[in-house]
Amino acid sequence: MRSDNQILVPGAELERRVLRALLDVGASAPSAEAAVRALMHASRVGVDSHGVRLVEHYCRMLGGGRLNKVPELTVRRTAVASAMVNGDDGLGHYAAYHAVELGMEIAREAGVAAIGIEHSSHLGAAGAYAAAGAEQGFITFATTNTDAMVALFDGAERFHGTNPLAFAAPVPGSRPWLLDMATSSIPMNRVLLHRSLNAPLPEGVAADAQGAATIDPGAAEMLLPLGGENYGYKGAGLAGVATLFSALLTGTTLDPDFIPMYGTENIHEPRNMGHFVLVIDPEKFVGGAMFGQAIMGYLASLRGAAVRPGGGSVMAPGDREWAEADRRDAQGIPIDPDTARFLVLS
């Protein structure tokens, strides 16, 4: 047991338990395996808010009928380089990974592929899907909009979701360059994690019911956009980018119109979430080999940049996450008490 009340669990054992929980509630093997893949990605790289702690929620939604236990994915090609994936109201991870696979197939021919996803559900960490494409040699962008829980700049009510933007690019002989960021200051699942751990929030990331900043996770009723109280207009604008691609372009649900993910007794009605994936084949632009040389040179220059006095080493997007994955692969993955109880690990 760690000092923060979390326990360390070997990755293989944790993966087995999460998969078993989803299968036991009736999720089909393909959709459950996709969910576990995405959840384990998040838990390995340190995005605990979107990691295996979500499995209890997903099981409840599968049991209540909000999520289709046995979804049948369908694809509608709309043009040479575009398509729509219908997730059949199943686990969003299944539809999102399928969209990346489809995107890579199309991009091999067209150079780029834009894939919209409809009739889906919460997909966890968007970076899991961006990384999946990059691991196969493709520059990949993934985004989704979510239910309203973030105030606008100078706003005092929930409007946008946490609306992540994730980008990844292949790096020869190494793991991908990976940027996975919420457009809110933190994700709401981070607030829930802090509640579970009975730990205070950082300053300037959440607000109470009147829109005033708070560090009390129990009093937090909404999040602040990326940039906080002074520069939150940047995060609020980026949240709109996610909504533009994920909801407006796909004809799915707008942020304020979602059935809330949490805090509602309505766990039987699907939410028709939309997502968006863009896949680019470097081979069709500068060429795969030249792109590989260019990104390695770029990263070497970035990591070799001068460091301010007292600062640490300069890192590229993904460096911190992949280092954390190595550490957790060796030492185990930290699990909060609520998830430990659900998975019978405590």
Q: Could you list the residue range(s) of the whole structural domain that residue 212 is in?
A: 7-294+317-342
- The per-residue pLDDT for range 43-76, each reduced to its tens digit, is 999 999 899 999 999 999 999 999 999 999 999 9
Is 70 exceeded by the pLDDT of residue 4? no
Question: Does any domain span residue 164?
Answer: yes
Question: Does any domain span residue 329?
Answer: yes
Query: Quick one: pLDDT band at residue 230, thresholds 50, 70, 90?
Result: confident
Question: Does any domain span residue 307?
Answer: no
Is 90 exceeded by the pLDDT of residue 211? no
Higher pLDDT, 229 or 131: 131
- The CA distance from 59 to 207, in Å, is 29
Question: What confidence score (pLDDT) does residue 1 get?
Answer: 53
**Contact (Cβ atoms closer than 8 angstroms) between residue 258 and residue 188:** no
CATH number at 217 reads: 3.30.1370.60
Handedness of CA 213, 217, 222, 224 (dihedral sign): positive
**Contact (Cβ atoms closer than 8 angstroms) between residue 300 and residue 98:** no
Question: Does any domain span residue 49?
Answer: yes
Question: Does any domain span residue 79?
Answer: yes
Tokens of 263: 């805090």
- The per-residue pLDDT for range 123-138, each reduced to its tens digit, is 999 999 999 999 999 9
Query: Quick one: pLDDT band at residue 311, thresholds 50, 70, 90?
Result: confident
Question: Does any domain span residue 301?
Answer: no
Question: Does any domain span residue 336?
Answer: yes
Q: What contacts 314, CB < 8 A, 6 or more positions away?
A: 302, 303, 304, 305, 307
Q: How many domains does the chain contain in total? A: 1
